[in-house]
Amino acid sequence: MLSIYGIVISISIFSCLIAAEKIYPEKKKEIWDAGLYAVIAGIAGSRIYHVIDYWQYYKESPVKILEVWNGGLGIWGAVLGGALGIGIYSLVHKNSFLEITDIVATVLPLGQAIGRWGNYFNSELAGKETSLPWAIQGKHPLFFYESVLNMILFLLLVRFSKRNPAPGVLLSIYLAGYGIIRFFLEFLRVTPWKMGGLNVAQMVSILSIGIALIIFIKGRRK
């Protein structure tokens, strides 16, 4: 049975595809073809990321690993998995990897902004305690913070997409933008995933910002 979380995630995926079609009408076929690869690989990657994070829970009941509709998707895993899916699509169909990832990067924050509300309905992603007036049950509503910031990032990327940027520029803006958003929001999380005392999401965020700089610098040199 499809949960509210599953419905929200489904809406976020279709919103991305429809938005991409509106922003890049000349790439309609590539969007839906590449989207299939990206969505399948992205969901798999996001689930793997989440399961590794909560392995102590899932090892007691491995069958729950397949219950994606009940929640439990890691966005960094989705980004890595989606990139792999687009890479496979680009090799099979001989399309430009950077051109396709630029399209995905433009609309991905929209999907994230919508998808974070799935965390709300699942009572997930509550932050540290706070007395701020917008607190939910006395805690920072991290899902809301990220939803708003992702929507701002989406609008920024749409604006830049109209300037006919060089391949890779939009991808670098997304990687840097979301990397910064996630890095700072992690300070408000109660039980972040840590390895060796280091926050995994923050380490991936720093790596994402670094990759963004490399892509941007290489793009300017061409």
CA distance 196 to 122: 29
> Is there a contact between 150 and 112 (Cβ–Cβ < 8 Å)?
yes
Q: Which of 115, 41, 34, 117 is nearest to 79 (CA)?
A: 41
Burial of 100 (0-12, 13-18, 19+ CB in 10 A): buried
> Is there a contact between 90 and 96 (Cβ–Cβ < 8 Å)?
yes
Is 116 flagged in the annotation as binding?
A: yes
> Is there a contact between 103 and 27 (Cβ–Cβ < 8 Å)?
yes
Helices (H), the chain: 4-23, 28-53, 55-58, 75-93, 97-121, 142-161, 169-185, 200-221
Residue 128: which H helix or E strand, with range?
A: strand 126-129
Give the sign of the dihedral formed by CA 41, CA 23, CA 162, CA 178.
Answer: negative
Annotated binding site: 116
